[in-house]
Chain A
């Protein structure tokens, strides 16, 4: 009887947790991933070996609090930089010529806008003037999640401002995101839904980081990346961010 009562009480708690606001959910999420510990985080450096069907590709992703970032692939002696942003210029190494090339003006502007979202848009949405709403509850991988809609600063696509909306699916129990979704806004895949799934959350210097991210298309193929190391405030060669003038 005592047990049934306990179950009933737990049910009540989960009933009341359903009535959380979007803001409360976002706040619980922030607390769940480390809360104020994030204030001391100036940079994140992540390393992984991506397995491309048996071929190992070493990868390093750096992200600075001020928005600078790069992904470095070190392969057969070649350093290939992808998705770099040095605070002004967004660029990548051309695989063929192995020379740096600037992203389009649109992508550069979008990188500039996204650079303000450290460590994550859902953490700093208020400061950035984004709108957050609770869309309801949905299951992700069999887990009941809050579905949050985050309307961010618009994206620039082919010279036009278009809506920039991300959906977060936050585990109702642990308050960490299991899934992020957004519509692909340009290119041949335009209109399809891109997804990122998160797992293997681990604590590093007091903050909680997903060590595994699987990215792909909704109902389509995905590619997982598992980080071997995540370093907080590690020494990062700042020159790597900078677009090398030709």
Chain B
């Protein structure tokens, strides 16, 4: 009783606390059917980190991706489905339980190919139903899991290699073991806070034997270090209880990352690829005695290149001498490691190779540019075309209709593509506008054929003329007196909303060009801390030099002009400064010290200059490069003099980007490392948006003003769009108490476009199009579950035009109406005349939407417009509508006419059934009715090539459909055809009138004689109501 009282008390406390934050509007309750739309693309895909194949069923393949989650194929890798969207999308490893391969799969999060842009993990997960449901099984702070090894004889025993944190010390590194299927974990082996387990492999033939490589490594914002005295390869022969270093034959001194593998067909043979101090000792080593002794085999470039990125070696399941090493191109040996050749042509940067366990010719290869499959042992490679794993760094938009999306991809160039395309957004719709690693891409504000793009570290900033295909490098170069220009890996460039030809670029200085990049001026001093200790990138890499530009530091990272005035420019630097000018760059003020609670030198990732005030801005900082995963998001209204944090406990992880709504200052979108968060109340509360939006890292967002679309650049799932977020602007404390509330809508445009569609095959990813129907949006305070709910649309005269299935979710509901009114009733026949059932399009004008919900009725006016881009005049439209209506009526008249004939025919049949023997009147009428019907509708054949000769119904249907589906006036040839059909119909009517005065009359007499009632033929209006 006492316990219950305490529970009751704590609940009351909660109620009181909720009352205190009554201004909060918890968005997650109201997002309703507002749903994300994925447009990919997949033509350049993205980094795949791990591949796992089912041990016996070659149709089942899993992949883990760098930032796009886990995908499963059920058809041997032809098509994949995402199966891990709710969870962290950065994947270290996927492992299938060999004892229950159809159902039990483990996923370790946190990619282990530790480049600068890598995302982080948050633990280990398990499914026991083949990926439909997942449970988190702990190790939440592991950061990066390199290996999961399941005891083939006892699936409750699982070993896990934790590489651990990339950017800081961690005591979570090491080898872990569970003996209860993941409920509890024991750390078996730990070296120190700097050295993690980079690979762990169990001997499947003797599960007491385990090998583990340990790697001493560290990345910072400005440097990378691979190697140390604590790196090494270890072996346990007692299920992980004790471990011994197995270095007999290894190079001495510091070691770096070690890739190794056991030959599945002979577990005495072990290969290791070693990073070490002396270049001549780097390379492949082979042991034939289970690691007791090692022999150097080969030091080719393909084996030793970038160990931090490519430390994976795979041995053929059947032949211990066939091995493949990940690398720049992937290296294949068929002689036990003596010699190597490159794998077949594909995207460079190979991270994992997986042989089909039962067919070594079938190989999957994970690269920076997607997943490849080979059916001839790695000689020729084909890309899997439905993995939209693209890793965008940025996105920008233009103002065309449909608008284009511009952005650069990690290791996959720069692109732009449409937000809508006939048949869906296909690979062929995307245009290449830059090479290398792509980052920020901008269209010229007024010249649609000019696009700016860049590659890493501003090695090039291009101005690309898409019309004449001219590429010009327009980056700012150092001039006399300049120090070395420090450009970030992801260099900020941006256009201006105030001057069309203006282009900004940021090094440690702000550079401005007012002639599209031909000439540049510096308008700032060095705005960074210019800390020399963070500028020694030439030493970066540790045992293997790695100075790619990825560690360039003390640079400007974000730069934005106020949309209200060109005088205000904000700059954020990667070493933690915020600088602002209010006079167009003459004077700059560092306002970072005004932010309370922000650790020093925290990377300023994004500044959003507000549309609601010249002094208003938002700043987002990331501390992850120092191991700080807290979110830092601030708002200022006074040019940075004071700042307010808008972070709440709702945000579990750091953010990179914020997007302000353009109309409602309380509506903000936050792009975090684990998905999208939205506040409806100016940051009092945040809700995760999960409607078809994975928990993917978001690097940038942009809002399209004309469409109110939020366009999100994800680093692993391509571009994701939330179409028309405007309803979110109107969710207030007042609205949420209403049973039903219609959102106002702009007039809907009936677009006129090709219906021919696209050309992609079913194995290619095709991005979804936005709806081009009228979207009727309303809010429900509660889900509708009991009683009838309908949605109808009426014209201005109250005539029913359409009924649509009503949305019934709590929150936002969107009902689509395709501008069609109800189709004509079509005559019965032996076949189906599909064209005759074409619903006509409504005319432009005002319509009433009526929702009936139980006894309540809610109404809203909407307006429908013709496509303003259309070439058709109103007179042409009127002609089209008039003839469409004429043919519509004719179709229904014909249906009724056939119905009358059928009614008489049924009467005759009934008479004949009841009256044996021949009757002249009945038989004659029967023959005449059949002959007449044969000219009106198809009466034999099927719905394919056995179809009968088209008759009036089919011919009328064809011309009706042709005219109803076009927006302009019918052609003279079509009019002539219509006249012909009219004549045919009137001839039929004349023929029937003759029947009425002759054969029907005679038959009626016969009926009368037999006291049989003539057929009851309902009138036209009643006929239309019949099924």
User: Hey, which bits of chain A sit against chain B, CB under 8 A?
Assistant: 4, 7-9, 11-12, 15, 49, 51, 53-56, 58, 74-78, 95-98, 135, 141-143, 163, 165, 171, 174, 176, 178, 183, 188, 190-193, 198-202, 211-212, 214, 219, 224, 226
Among residues of B, the one whose C-beta sits closest to the C-beta of A223 is B805
Q: Which of B808, B809, B829 contacts A76 (CB 8 A)?
A: B829
Q: Taking chain B's interface residues, is the majority helix, strand, or loop, or is none over half, making it mixed?
A: loop
Q: Which of B11, B783, B838 contacts A143 (CB 8 A)?
A: B783
The size of the chain B interface, using a CB distance under 8 A, is 65
**Contact (Cβ within 8 A) A97 B946:** yes
29 contacts between A and B (CB under 8 A): A7-B15, A54-B818, A54-B820, A54-B822, A54-B839, A55-B823, A55-B838, A74-B1027, A76-B826, A76-B827, A97-B943, A141-B808, A141-B809, A142-B811, A163-B129, A174-B785, A174-B786, A183-B130, A188-B762, A191-B74, A193-B132, A200-B788, A200-B808, A201-B787, A202-B787, A219-B35, A219-B691, A219-B692, A226-B805
Cβ of A4: which chain B residues have Cβ within 8 Å of it? 12, 15
**Contact (Cβ within 8 A) B790 A226:** yes
**Contact (Cβ within 8 A) A97 B944:** yes
Extra 13 A-B pairs, beta carbons < 8 Å, given A51-B802, A78-B832, A191-B83? A8-B15, A12-B7, A12-B8, A53-B818, A97-B946, A142-B811, A165-B132, A171-B785, A200-B784, A200-B785, A200-B789, A201-B786, A224-B805
Do A211 and B943 contact each other (CB < 8 Å), given the known contacts A76-B833, A188-B79?
Answer: no
**Contact (Cβ within 8 A) A8 B132:** no
Do A178 and B74 contact each other (CB < 8 Å), given the known contacts A76-B828, A96-B942, A214-B805?
Answer: no
B29 within 8 A of A: yes
Find residues 779-835 in chain B having any chain A CB closer than 8 Å to their own CB: 782-790, 802-805, 808-811, 818, 820-823, 826-833
**Contact (Cβ within 8 A) A190 B74:** yes
A212 CA / B807 CA spacing, docked (Å): 11
User: Closest CB of chain A to B257's CB: distance in Å?
Assistant: 35
Find residues 109-153 in chain B having any chain A CB closer than 8 Å to their own CB: 129-130, 132-133
Among residues of B, the one whose C-beta sits closest to the C-beta of A197 is B808
Cβ of A201: which chain B residues have Cβ within 8 Å of it? 785-787
Counting chain B CB atoms within 10 Å of each CB, the highest count among A51, A76, A98, A224 belongs to: A76
Q: Which of A12, A15, A77, A176 contacts B785 (CB 8 A)?
A: A176
Q: Which of B786, B828, B831, B1027 contacts A200 (CB 8 A)?
A: B786
Among residues of B, the one whose C-beta sits closest to the C-beta of A224 is B805
Cβ of B133: which chain A residues have Cβ within 8 Å of it? 135
A7 CA / B13 CA spacing, docked (Å): 12
**Contact (Cβ within 8 A) B809 A211:** no
Cβ of A7: which chain B residues have Cβ within 8 Å of it? 12, 15
Cβ of A190: which chain B residues have Cβ within 8 Å of it? 74-75
User: Hey, which bits of chain B sit against chain A, CB under 8 A?
Assistant: 4, 7-8, 11-12, 15, 29-30, 32, 35, 72-75, 79, 81, 83, 103, 129-130, 132-133, 691-692, 762, 782-790, 802-805, 808-811, 818, 820-823, 826-833, 836-840, 942-944, 946, 1027
**Contact (Cβ within 8 A) B129 A11:** no
A153 CA / B232 CA spacing, docked (Å): 51
Cβ of A183: which chain B residues have Cβ within 8 Å of it? 130, 132
User: Closest CB of chain A to B35's CB: distance in Å?
Assistant: 7
**Contact (Cβ within 8 A) A56 B4:** no
Do A78 and B30 contact each other (CB < 8 Å), given the known contacts A8-B8, A51-B804?
Answer: no
A4 CA / B11 CA spacing, docked (Å): 10
Cβ of A198: which chain B residues have Cβ within 8 Å of it? 785
**Contact (Cβ within 8 A) B942 A56:** no
A111 CA / B692 CA spacing, docked (Å): 32
Among residues of A, the one whose C-beta sits closest to the C-beta of B804 is A51
**Contact (Cβ within 8 A) A77 B943:** no
**Contact (Cβ within 8 A) B803 A8:** no
Closest 5 CB pairs of A and B: A54-B839, A77-B828, A142-B810, A224-B805, A54-B820
Do A95 and B943 contact each other (CB < 8 Å), given the known contacts A8-B12, A54-B839, A55-B837?
Answer: yes
Q: Which of B32, B789, B802 contacts A199 (CB 8 A)?
A: B789
Q: Which of A58, A98, A202 contacts B1027 (CB 8 A)?
A: A58
**Contact (Cβ within 8 A) B783 A200:** no
**Contact (Cβ within 8 A) A178 B783:** yes
